[in-house]
Structure 1
Amino acid sequence: MEVALLGFFFIFYLFVRYFVIDHDTQADKDRLRFAEGIHLFQLHRYDEAYLYFDKAVKQHPKSSLAFAYRGKCHLRNDNAYSALFDLTYALTLDNTIADSYLDKGMALYQLHQFDEAFKEFDKAVWYSRGLQPDAIRWRAVARMQLDQYSQAQKDLIRAIELGDENSAYLLKQPPFSNVIHS
């Protein structure tokens, strides 16, 4: 009886430990590990953030987040090819981070690969569950390059509903400026 009770508590402990307490993903753990570099990026200190994440990818070559942030730095420094390389590699390590798809799409857009950019923006919308207005707006912008204006308009309206002022501005520009919105 005591052995059974002890076994029950041990199984209960394991269940709580692995399914309730310690359920952080690797990306969550990396956000804590790389907080200093992320902070540099948020302060728009892209050169310093790049140096931080360049070192991080060498020390942690399996960290999707380190590659994603180094890619973000490349993107902000107008180095689209290097950004594309880092973001593609980041997505091979973890294909669930919506921001990586968004940034990869932006790099492709800068390279005038609008069809491929649209696909990445669409994935960003999917992985953000349609709640990231930037991803929706960028998908609309790519759709405009692909002459998909009615779908682009729907995306812009959805982004506005999520509070995106940039989409409101775009919706007031041609070819949408002649359409009455309700």
Structure 2
Amino acid sequence: MEFLVVIAFFGYIYYLRNYADLRTPSEKEAAALSEGIKLYENEQTDDAFAYFDSRIRQKPKSCIAYLYRGLCQKRRGNFEAAKADMQSGLSYDDQVYTLHLELGKLYLEQNQPETALASLNKAVALSEETSAAPYQWRAKAFSQLGRETEAMRDVHHENELSQLLKTGPMASSASKIPFFDKRLAINMVIIILTSALLVYVVKNAESIHLPYLVAVFAAICIGFVEPYKGWLLAIMQCVLLLAGYFLFTTRPDDQARQELENFSLYGSMILTFAASFLGGFLKRALNMK
């Protein structure tokens, strides 16, 4: 037990140091490449291109570097090279809506509205109402295709979203991601079942090893399935463990057996918190690859 607690403690410290940042990998990349992005925004195209070209050589899988090198190529008039860079960026991370948006704009400017529409649909879906630009450009694609009703609908939504984002962009974004969702509710039901299993194991195990093993496995699963909300599930499991043990079981008369159950119960609670953080660490590590 002591060994597990030490590992969990240092794992938690490592987790806080390296994975407590809730930004997506692409957001972290954009922050790391802010110097080059500033060059591009200041229309220092040659310097920006050299910057992103160098970064791609250093880190060939940087989708944001490909995005901005592609934008530099586009500004230079090298449209095919720009398209190739944006497609390369999407091959490494196809969840970045700005890559789909810029690729869609590029196709649209080359009079390929059908191909542009496919990219712009993805941009609209991935932007999650955090930007009005995907609607603006999709409206243009619809218009080029003669689908005026859909184009006007997107124009109307673009105007509404632009006003909403001006008054409260953070509130608009946050409202799309509720804390209590269907997934969390399902996981709470699973926690009830695992807590009942843990109480049963605590009452029937002949040593502390089986309860600790079950607690660690269950808690790692908690962190893995809910890397951001696992703390709530861990608290819930500990509360259910205490309630289940003291309200629905009888304490043994034998002193040695009582001590064994106490060690199993409280040790399992400690490991629930520690291992849930390790599960979240594992999930984040896998997501960053």
- For normalisation by structure 2, the TM-score amounts to 0.51
Cα 1:16/1:156, change in 2 over 3 Å: farther
Deviations 1:33-62 (A, max 9, x none): 322101111212222211211222122211
- 1:95 Cα offset (Å): 0.6
Cα 1:40/1:91, change in 2 over 3 Å: same
Q: Determine the C-alpha separation between the residues in 2 that align with 1:92 and 1:65.
A: 12
- Say which SS state the counterpart of residue 136 (structure 2) adopts: helix
Counterpart check, 1:37 vs 2:36? yes
Counterpart check, 1:142 vs 2:126? no
Deviations 1:55-84 (A, max 9, x none): 221222111111111011122333221111
Structure 1: 5+ residue stretches without partners: 165-182
Deviations 1:116-137 (A, max 9, x none): 1011111111110133111110
Q: Determine the C-alpha separation between the residues in 2 that align with 1:58 and 1:163.
A: 37
- 1:15 Cα offset (Å): 5.0
Q: Determine the C-alpha separation between the residues in 2 that align with 1:44 and 1:162.
A: 28
- Check whether the contact 1:80–1:108 (CA below 8 A) recurs between aligned residues: no
Q: Determine the C-alpha separation between the residues in 1 that align with 2:23 and 2:5.
A: 25
Counterpart check, 1:18 vs 2:15? yes
Q: Determine the C-alpha separation between the residues in 1 that align with 2:128 and 2:147.
A: 22
- Structure ID, larger Rg: 2
- Report the count of equivalent residues: 161
Instruction: Give the aligned CA root-mean-square deviation in angstroms.
Output: 2.1
Q: Determine the C-alpha separation between the residues in 2 that align with 1:127 and 1:120.
A: 11
Deviations 1:105-155 (A, max 9, x none): 111112211101011111111110133111110000000011111111010
Q: Match for 1:11: what amino acid?
A: A
1:1-182, aligned counterparts within 5 Å? 4=1, 7-8=4-5, 10-11=7-8, 14-15=11-12, 17-18=14-15, 21-163=20-162
- Check whether the contact 1:130–1:136 (CA below 8 A) recurs between aligned residues: no
- Check whether the contact 1:75–1:103 (CA below 8 A) recurs between aligned residues: no
Structure 2: 5+ residue stretches without partners: 164-289
- Say which SS state the counterpart of residue 62 (structure 1) adopts: coil
- For normalisation by structure 1, the TM-score amounts to 0.79
Q: Determine the C-alpha separation between the residues in 2 that align with 1:67 and 1:88.
A: 9
- Check whether the contact 1:97–1:127 (CA below 8 A) recurs between aligned residues: yes
Q: Match for 1:151: what amino acid?
A: E
Q: Determine the C-alpha separation between the residues in 2 that align with 1:162 and 1:24.
A: 23
Q: Determine the C-alpha separation between the residues in 2 that align with 1:128 and 1:33.
A: 21
- Check whether the contact 1:71–1:84 (CA below 8 A) recurs between aligned residues: yes
Q: Determine the C-alpha separation between the residues in 2 that align with 1:126 and 1:16.
A: 36
